[in-house]
Amino acid sequence: MIFSEDQLDELRKFECLDFQSTVSFKDGCIDDFIKSKYWPVAVQEDMIVRTSQQIKHRSTVIVKAYIDNIFNKNFLDFGCGTAHTAIEASRSCKLSVGYDPVRHQYWTSQEAKASNNCMLFNDFDEVKKNGPYDFILLYDVLDHILPSDIPAAIDNIISVCDSNTIIKCRCHPWTSIHGGHLYEKLNKAYAHLLLSEEQIIEHQTIGTTRIMKPIVTYRKLLSKLNVVSVDPVSIRMSDEVKSILSDNNIINRIKMVTGGDAEWQSSVLPYEYVDYVLRIQ
Ligand SMILES: C[S@@+](CC[C@H](N)C(=O)[O-])C[C@H]1O[C@@H](n2cnc3c(N)ncnc32)[C@H](O)[C@@H]1O
């Protein structure tokens, strides 16, 4: 890794480096360095959604980008979470249904209640009664479903499709720069691939499914659906991020956690998101 003079000064303070041989981390020192200001961020600070206004803004962006032209159509937000997106979509479609096995407290808010063509369910039978749907969205959901529950979730989705249904699925691979969902508490690039299990749990805001080989695994999971298009969105890695990913100590640490090799790493780590457009077969 190429360190700047500032970084080297900081590292000397941490006594992280073994200057006798090549520049390398001593055991246990990587953690301090990750947490220091010298480690690159996972997400630009102004992109982190924290306030209710930001959550609402995010939902308008999602509706515009994923579910345009839904006038007079039925829309299902599968794994809707807070339901902001389902509520936002209800402004422009005939019926908007939000489904999530977990009821979020926002579902009972005045805003949620004020929308008369938006229904929110945690019972999939209710979702079925209102189907089939013209558009289905899975936004950052597949990577949060327990692996054992994924086949049932896919079958549920299929049960509310007809031959015209368009499904849009945004995946947020665990292997990506912020795929561990630590960024609200510890906004550091790839921290979830480098820190100890205890530290990951301490900083993680929601549970994530550790899908090591995202592209192959998503293809398998979605094989009952017809993939119309795939759009892997790579991050534009800053020189700082490229630099940490070219360091042997970091590579070895990631290898240890993931069992992946250098080829795997270079093919997977740059994917920030993978978007699918799907129909039933
Ligand atoms: C990261 S959140 C995303 C929420 C929402 N789509 C958004 O983008 O704001 C993942 C959601 O998936 C939901 N989820 C977990 N298991 C699920 C399942 N088996 N079926 C549907 N949703 C599930 C979680 O309850 C959670 O609300």
Query: Which residue from 86, 92, 182, 101 is spatially nearest to 139, judged by alpha carbons?
Result: 86
107 CA distance to ligand 1 middle (Å): 14
Q: Which of 50-59, 82-91, 216-225, 259-268 has the lowest mean pLDDT?
A: 259-268
Nearest CA to ligand 1 atom 21: 79
- pLDDT computed for residue 18 by the predictor: 42
> What distance in angstroms lies between residue 262's CA and the mean position of ligand 1's atoms?
32
* pLDDT at position 177: 95
How is residue 243 written in tokens?
Answer: 């630099």
Is residue 20 pLDDT above 70, yes or no? no
Is the CA virtual torsion 154, 156, 157, 158 positive or negative?
positive
Pocket of ligand 1 (CB under 6 A): 78-81, 100-102, 139-141, 144-145, 149, 153, 206
The residue ranges of every structural domain in the chain are 1-34, 39-280
Backbone angles phi, psi at 150, to 5 degrees: -65, -45
Amino acid at 123: D
Higher pLDDT, 156 or 251: 156
Average pLDDT of the segment spanning 4-8? 62
Using a CB cutoff of 8 Å and minimum separation of 24, what contacts does 2-7 make?
A: 2/243, 6/38, 7/38
197 alpha carbon – ligand 1 mean position (Å): 23
Mean pLDDT of the chain: 87
- Give the residue, out of 141, 143, 183, 184, with the most ligand 1 atoms within 8 A of its beta carbon, to mutate for a pocket test: 141
Asked if residue 13 has pLDDT above 80, the reply is no
Torsion of CA 192, 198, 204, 208, to 10 degrees: 70
Contact indicator for 167, 136 with CB cutoff of 8 Å: yes
What is the DSSP pairing of strand 135-139 with strand 166-171? parallel
Percent of the chain whose pLDDT exceeds 90: 57
Distance 174 CA to ligand 1 centre (A): 15
Lowest mean pLDDT among 34-43, 178-187, 253-262: 253-262
The closest alpha carbon to 66, from 165, 138, 131, 11, belongs to 138
Condensed to tens digits (0 to 9), the pLDDT of residues 43-74 reads 998 899 989 899 999 999 999 999 878 889 99
Which pLDDT band, with edges at 50, 70 and 90, does 125 fall under?
very high
In Å, what is the CA distance from 253 to each residue of 33, 133, 190, 263?
14, 45, 11, 15
Alpha-carbon gap, residue 97 to 145, rounded angstroms: 19
Asked if the bond preceding 132 is cis, omega within 30° of 0, the reply is: yes
Smallest CA separation from ligand 1 atom 25, residue: 102
CATH architecture of the domain with residue range 39-280: 3-Layer(aba) Sandwich (3.40)
Ligand 1: which residue has its CA nearest to atom 22? 79
Locate 128 and state its tokens: 């079925």
Q: What's this model's pTM, rounded to 2 decimal places?
A: 0.90
Helix (H, G, I), strand (E, B) or coil at 74: strand
